[in-house]
Amino acid sequence: MKKNKKTSDFLHIGTKLLKWYDTHARDLPFRNTKDPYKIWICEIVFQQTRIAQGLNHYNNFIKRFPDVKTLAESQEDEVLLYWKGLGYYSRAINIHKAAQQIINDYNGVFPSEYDEILKLKGVGKYTAAAVSSICFNGKMPAVDGNFYRVLSRVFADDFDVSGSRAFTYFSELAHLIMPENVGDFNQAMMDLGSEICKPRNPICGDCPINDDCLAFSLHKISEFPVKTKKVKATDLELKYYFVHRNGQFLIQQRKDDFIWKKLFEFPLEISGELVTFIRSSKTVNHKLTHKNLSIEIFNVEVDSEEVWKNFIAENDYIITSVESSHEKSFPKPLENYIRNYETAYSIL
C-alpha cells in the first residue's frame, strides 16, 4: 500500500494547500514574525492546547518575557505564574531551563539547526520541525495531531495514530505532499486541521483538497483517523486544610514528580491542636483528562493567636494572603477555592 503511494505524484496536494493558505491563514499574533523565540514559545504554549484557550497566556508571556535573556534571568516561580491555569506545567519548567540552555550553550543566539533545536528542554521532534521550518527554512514536516488526521483521511490510511510508530509513518506520508515552502506548509496543515478537517463534522465542502481526499470520495471520513488505544481516567482523592487567620493562610510548594509540578497547595495535614478549629469542609470534584479528582478541603479558622504561631513555628509552610496569592500559581480547584474565599473575605 505504501509502495503504491510512492509511485504516484502527490506534490500537487501540498501546492494546493499553500495556495489555500495564502487567502485563508488564520490571523494569529505569532503569524507576523519569524523570531524563533516567539515561534518557540507559541509552539510550547499550544502543545495539546487549543488556540482560543492559550492565546491570552501567550500574549501575556511574550509581554513579560519578550526575549530569551529576559526569560533566562527570571525566577522559575514567576514563569510558573504566567503558566497558571494552562496545565502540563512541566512545559513552564522546561521552557525556563531551555532559555538558560540557549544563553549558556549557544551564547544567547537561538540555534538554527533542527538537531540543535531538538536538544532544548521540552522540545521534541514536532516543535523542532516547526521552529526550524518556520524560522530557518528547515525541511522537516511538523507532524502533530492535525497531520495524523488530515493525512489518514487524504490517503484513507488506517495506520493506528495512537501507536509510537505513528510519527515516523505519517512523516513519510507528509513528505509525499510536502512542497518547497515547508514553513507555510506546516502552518497550512494546522489551519486546515483546525478550520476544515476537524476531528468531528469536518467541512469537506470547503476543503481545498477534497478532490484529492480518498476518504471523502469513499464517504468514509468518519472512519479516519484510526485510534485504538484510549486512556481512561483513574480516581484520586486529596485532603487539604485551608488554615487561615485574619486573611492569611498557609501554603507549600509541590514537588516536580507528580501532577501540578511545583505549583502551590494547602497543607495536607494539620496538628491535633488545630483539629478543634475546623469549621467546615467542602468536597470539590474536579475532572482532569487522566484523573477524576475528589478534593476535600477543610476550612480551618484559627481563632487563637498562640495556636497559629505555634503551628507556623513547627512547620515550614509559607504564610500568604489573598493579595499575595495572586502572585503564585495554584492548581485550578485550589485557585477557585481561594477566589471564593477572597470574595467572602472582602465583604467583611
Binding site for DNA (CB under 7 A): 26, 28, 30-31, 42-43, 46-53, 85-90, 94, 121-128, 130, 144-146, 148-149, 163-165, 187, 190-191, 193-194, 199-201, 225, 227, 229-231, 234, 258-261, 286, 288-291, 331-333
Nearest distance from C-beta of residue 158 to DNA, angstroms? 13
Nearest distance from C-beta of residue 319 to DNA, angstroms? 23
Q: Which is nearer to DNA, 87 or 267 (CB)?
A: 87
User: How far apart are the C-alpha atoms of 161 and 169, rounded to whole Å?
Assistant: 9
Cell, residue 251: 501554603
Cell, residue 217: 470520495
Q: Which is nearer to DNA, 111 or 193 (CB)?
A: 193
Nearest distance from C-beta of residue 270 to DNA, angstroms? 24
Taking a C-beta distance cutoff of 8 angstroms, is the pair 277, 302 a contact?
yes
Cell, residue 124: 521534541
**Would residue 78 show up in a list of annotated catalytic residues for this protein?**
no
Cell, residue 1: 500500500
Nearest distance from C-beta of residue 274 to DNA, angstroms? 27
Q: Which is nearer to DNA, 128 or 274 (CB)?
A: 128
Long-range interactions of 192-200: CB distance < 8 A, separation 24+: 192/17, 192/20, 192/146, 192/150, 193/145, 193/146, 193/147, 193/149, 193/150, 194/26, 194/51, 194/146, 195/24, 195/26, 197/146, 197/149, 197/150, 197/153, 199/149
Q: How many CA atoms lie within 13 A of 340 on its CB side?
A: 11
Catalytic residue among 43, 78, 116, 269: 43
Nearest distance from C-beta of residue 219 to DNA, angstroms? 18
User: How far apart are the C-alpha atoms of 97 and 156, rounded to whole Å?
Assistant: 41
Cell, residue 338: 481561594
46: closest CA among 263, 191, 200? 191
Amino acid letter, residue 28:
L
Q: Which is nearer to DNA, 18 or 51 (CB)?
A: 51
Q: Which is nearer to DNA, 145 or 179 (CB)?
A: 145
Active site residues: 43
